[in-house]
Structures are given as structure tokens and as C-alpha cells.
Amino acid sequence: MVFTSAVFAALLVVAQATSVPRTADPLETIELAAPDGSIKAHYIPWGASTTNLWVKDKNNNFRDILLGFDNKTWYQDLAKGRDFFSPVVGRYANRIKNGTFTIPPSFDATGPGKKYHIVENENNGTDTLHGGTIGYDQRPWTVTKQTSNSVAFTLLDPNGFQGFPGDVLATVEYTLNSKATLDISMFAVADQLTPIMLSTHNYWNLDAYNDPTNNLVSHVLQAQSPKIVATNGNLIPTGGFVEVEGTPLDFRTAKSVGASINATAPHQYCGTGCTGFDNCFIYDQTNKKEPVVSMWSTTSGIKLDVVTDQVALQVYTCNGIFNASNPIPRKADQGGPNAYYEDHSCIVLEQQGYIDAVNNPQWGYNPIYGPLRDYEWHSTYTFSVVKD
């Protein structure tokens, strides 16, 4: 669907009229369940975030397999750290080199296009992560639709905020379907040319921390990806790719995530001095009907299959989630609050486009959207059980 400027203007009026959430509390818990009761989840308008997600393990017990906070106020409390626990991230997910880009895109923003400088919020102010200091994860979204098994949130992102050009109207809809299926759809329209890349930032532990080790050894990953985006020590793309064959990055054949982490140390794939993964895997195809990434636990038996229209996958193995001076307590149903989320105890799988494509047009991936081009994102997460 393509929106004309007149249609966008009408949508803008509606969004502005409903820009305050339908309740005054952006931390209101919205409870959803699939029609057959096979999957349950909680959401809050703040960041359009998923706070809990329960599916059944091999013993037919529900487990909450998402990291998060029992105290919902912590989602807003930056003193606790900006942890990106299962919100929508945007206006541009992942990193933008030097917080700078041109439209049309040019390599390292050196081309003749109009140059934009956005808020830098990582690596001592040398790049922009997940949309800047106040990204989509740090704003109250409007609840625009709700049923017993679905909820839709909308956000109006104004022109110039965090330095991005153009008004953007973004919507995300979560739907819990029978047979333990979660459908997520995102859509955005803009009245000017602007970079857009949205994603969900779910932290998974398929054992719900009901494993004595909690080191991802029990988590088996398979991803249809022959290469990753090459990055420097700050995880900023350098313009090339790294082939996964013969490296710890090769998940084309299913293998343990945790058992692969130590092998990454000499390569520092997740940045200078880092052990683990924090990499953008490029899918070898975009198959809208078959899973392109799967993950399962040999302990709980819970399996996740993802079908997506996105071309890439960011894999992050929670390399720096633990801070001894400010540890994050686990949720009560994950062994907290006297136990904490530790490094390499969880994994993020972000369905998205090429990271920092706005500075790397040589890849042939266009991250610019506007009046004649709308942004769309859809992924289906299907949960099942792998028996012993």
C-alpha cells in the first residue's frame, strides 16, 4: 500500500488526536491469549513492549521465556539501564556510523546528498544505537486496537526528533494464534524521505532460567545465513562481509549456541575484547513460507521457528548484560529477584534489514522510505516441543 500526501495528512490528524494512550498509564498490562490457550503474553504501551510470553515445555508446563522486569516502572527507569527488554526499536534499529547519513545514501555519508546528523548515544558519542537517546523503546505508544488475542500500538514520530527528517506514523500489531503462534506486523508511513528500520528486541531464554547452567549450551540454533556484515571493534559496518564457512559463525547446520561462544574469543565478533556473538547475519534467501531461523532447548524442549520477510538477523548473546554494580534481577518466575541475568544466559534474535545500510549503498539494500514507499515488516514465531 502506498500513501499519498493527502492520505498521510489525514492519518496524521488521527494520530495527533489519539496521541495520548487510551489509558493514562503507559505501563498498563494488556493480557492476551491464543484462542486455544496454547500461548499467552503481556504487553505494555511503553515501547510497545512484550513483558511476558508463556508457552508450554515438554512436560506441558507453561514457562515465561522472555527476560524483563516484574516491576514495570523499571522499563522507564534509565537509572536501571536501557536494556531494550522486548520493545520495538526504531526509528532506525541497530547502529548508524557517526550518527550521520545522506539522502540519497552514500558510503560513510561522503556523497553529494543532503546530510543529516542524528543524536549519538553509544561508544562515547561516535554512533547512534536504536534511534538515539529517546528511541521508539522509550516512548508511550497509543493502543489503537485490542481483542482477546491481539493488540495494536501506534506511534507518531515527529519531524526532527532525534535529528531524523520527516513525520513517521508507525504501527505494530501483535496477534496470538492457535498452535502457539505469535504474528507480529509492523507498518510505517512517512511524509518525507527518511531512513526507517524497525525490529522487535526480544531477549529469549527457552528454559525460563530453569537450568542450573544458564549458559546457552542447551540452546541449539540453526540459521540460513552464509555471511555476516563485517564490523569494526565498535560493531560499525566496514562495508564488506565475512563468510561464515569454517568459523564459529556457521549456524547453517544446527549447533549449540553456548558451546560456540568460547570459540569466538580470538575473533572478537561482538566487538573489541568481547566474547560471544553480536552480528548481523544475512539470510541466503527470503522465504515467506518456511522458517529461516530455528532455535530450541534440549532442556525444556521448547522450539522456536521464525518465518519472516526480513533479509537479515541480528544475533546477540547477552555478552554484557551483567553489571556487578547494577545487576538486573530476574523475574520471579525465572528464579528472581535474588538471582540475576548473567552474561551469555540469553539470546536476542532481531529480524531486520542490513545494519547501517544508510551508509552502505553498495549493498543494494534501500533503507529510505517516504511518500511513495511505505515500510512493512512481518514475522511469525511458532512454538512447538522437541521430545527427547
CATH number of the domain to which 25 belongs? 2.70.98.10
Note the pLDDT of residue 105.
98
Active site residue 245: no
Low pLDDT (below 70) residues in the chain? 1-24, 80-81, 286-288
Question: 227 with 243: CB under 8 angstroms?
Answer: yes
Provide the pLDDT for residue 1.
41
Q: Yes or no: say if 221 and 248 are a contact pair by the CB < 8 Å rule.
A: no
Give the largest Cα separation in the chain, rounded.
60
Instruction: Give the C-alpha separation, 15 to 8, whole Å.
Output: 10
Task: Report d(CA 313, CA 306) in Å as an integer.
Answer: 11
Catalytic residue, chosen from 42, 120, 130, 201, is: 201
d(C-alpha 43, C-alpha 82), whole Å:
18
| Residue type at 159 in one-letter notation | N
Residue 50 has φ and ψ, to the nearest 5°, of -95, 120
Cα–Cα distance measured from residue 261 to residue 37, given in angstroms and rounded to the nearest whole number: 36
Task: Tell me, yes or no, if 350 is annotated catalytic.
Answer: yes
Contact predicate 99/195, CB 8 Å: no
User: Nearest-CA neighbor of 317 among 272, 256, 247, 378?
Assistant: 256
The model's pTM is 0.94
Number of H helices, E strands in the chain: 2, 27
User: Considering 120, 122, 173, 350, which one is annotated as catalytic?
Assistant: 350
Q: What is the pLDDT of residue 289?
A: 84
The total domain count for the chain is 1
* Per-residue pLDDT, 22: 53
Structural domain of 181: 5-385
Cα(313)–Cα(239) distance, rounded to whole angstroms?
Answer: 17
The single-letter DSSP state of residue 237 is E
Residue 207: CB atoms within 10 Å: 24
